[in-house]
Amino acid sequence: MRQSHLIILLVLLAGGLLTVQGQQDPQYTQYMYNTQVVNPGYAGSRDALSFGLLLRSQWVGLEGSPQTGTFTIDSPLGFNENMGLGLSIVAEEIGPAVETNFTIDYSYRIQISDAGKLAFGLKAGMHLLDVDFTKLNIADANDPRFQNNIDNKFQPQIGAGVYYSTNKFYAGLSVPNFLNTKHFDEGSLANTTIESVPQENLHYFFITGYVFDINENLKLKPAFLGKVVGGSPLQADVSLNALINNKFTLGAAYRFSAAVSAMAGFQVSDGLFIGLGYDYQTTSLETYSDGSYELIFRFDVFKKPERVLTPRFF
C-alpha cells in the first residue's frame, strides 16, 4: 500500500516533526566491512588499496522500507604510509526519500607501541536529500506540507574519529557528522502548523573487537558496537565471527531488543571477499517483513606480500 510510504517518511525521516526518534543514519549489521563509513580513522589501516561495497535491504516485504548501498575506497598514501586517504559514498532510499552522502576520509597514524597504532581521522563532504511527494497517497491533496518536492537539498558534513589497532585488536570512537542536518528550511514550512524543523542528531559510535587464534585453521573474533543518538535508546550490537582456514567466515550477532543475525562469507582469492548476512527482527516488526539482508564485497590490492600470508580479520 502506498499509504505506508507516508507512515515511513514521517516516522523515519521526519521524526523531529512528530517528536519521535526513528532511524536517521543508515543501519548496518555487518558494519565491520564498511568501518570507514562509521570511523574515518580506519582509512588506510589495511595497508592495501581497498575497495568495499555493502548493499542492505532492510525489512524486506514492507513497502518503502530502507534500501542502502555503501561504497568505500581507501589506501595508505605512497609518500607517507602513516597517512590514509579514502572516499565514502552512502545512498539510502526510504519510500519517496533518497539521501546521498559523499565524503573524503583522511587519517594520520602514530606508532605508539611495538604492536599498536593510533589513528586520528577526519571526514568531510556533503549530504544531498531528495523527496518526491507525488509518490505518496496523501488524503488531503492540498496539504501545504507536501506541495513542493525537495530536490538536491544540500548540507555539508564534517566528522572525526580515533582508531587504535594491532594485528589482533581494534577499538574506535567516532562522530561521523558533527553538523545537525536540517531536512527542511523553515521557509518551506511557512503557513503550516509545523513548529519544528526535523534534523539529524549527532551519532556517537564505539567499536571494538579482538581476534583469538584458536589454532592454525581457526580464528574467533568477538566484537562490539555501541551507538548513542540524542533522543534514542542506546544501540548495542555484539557479534562473534569465525574464520576457518583463512577462507570461510561464519558469524552470528545480536542487536539488543531489535534483531538476531547470521552471516557467511568466502575468501574467493587473496584479495576478494564475498559475504551475505541476514537479520531476523525480534520485535513485532518481523510480522510485517521478511527480515533484512546484506550483501558484502571487499577487494584488496596488497602492496606488501606478508599482508596476504597473514590476513587480518578486520
Mean pLDDT of all residues belonging to the chain: 83
Which residues neighbour 90 within 8 Å (Cβ) at sequence distance 6 or greater?
A: 26, 37, 68, 69, 70, 99, 100, 101
- Residue 268: predicted pLDDT: 94
Which residues neighbour 39 within 8 Å (Cβ) at sequence distance 6 or greater?
A: 121, 161, 163, 172, 173, 174, 176, 205, 207
Average pLDDT over residues 37-60: 94
Q: How far apart (Å, rounded) are the C-alpha atoms in residues 223 and 32?
A: 9
For residue 302, give the C-alpha cell. Answer: 596488497
- pLDDT interval class at 7 (50, 70, 90): very low
Is it the case that residue 8 has pLDDT exceeding 50? no
Q: Which is more confident, 67 or 21?
A: 67
Is it the case that residue 1 has pLDDT exceeding 60? no
Average pLDDT over residues 202-221: 95
Which residues neighbour 199 within 8 Å (Cβ) at sequence distance 6 or greater?
A: 16, 180, 181, 182, 183
User: Was domain 3-309 assigned CATH 2.60.40.1930?
Assistant: no
Average pLDDT over residues 266-293: 90
- Residue 306: predicted pLDDT: 57
Q: How far apart (Å, rounded) are the C-alpha atoms in residues 271 and 303?
A: 11
Amino acid at 242: A
- Residue 87: predicted pLDDT: 98
Q: Which is more confident, 199 or 197?
A: 199
- What count of other Cβ atoms lies within 10 Å of the Cβ of residue 166? 15
Average pLDDT over residues 78-84: 89
Q: How far apart (Å, rounded) are the C-alpha atoms in residues 198 and 22?
A: 11
In angstroms, what is the C-alpha Rg of the chain?
20
Q: Which is more confident, 160 or 142?
A: 160
- Residue 29: predicted pLDDT: 86
Q: If you average pLDDT over each of 167-171, 186-190, 288-292, which comes out highest?
A: 167-171
User: Can you tell me which residue has the cell 544540500?
Assistant: 154
The model's pTM is 0.84
Q: Is-contact 212 193, C-beta < 8 A?
A: no
Is it the case that residue 258 has pLDDT exceeding 80? yes
Judged by average pLDDT, the poorest of 60-74, 95-109, 131-145, 240-254 is: 131-145
Average pLDDT over residues 12-37: 62
Q: If you average pLDDT over each of 14-18, 215-219, 287-291, which comes out highest?
A: 215-219
Is it the case that residue 9 has pLDDT exceeding 50? no
- Residue 137: predicted pLDDT: 74
- Residue 19: predicted pLDDT: 32
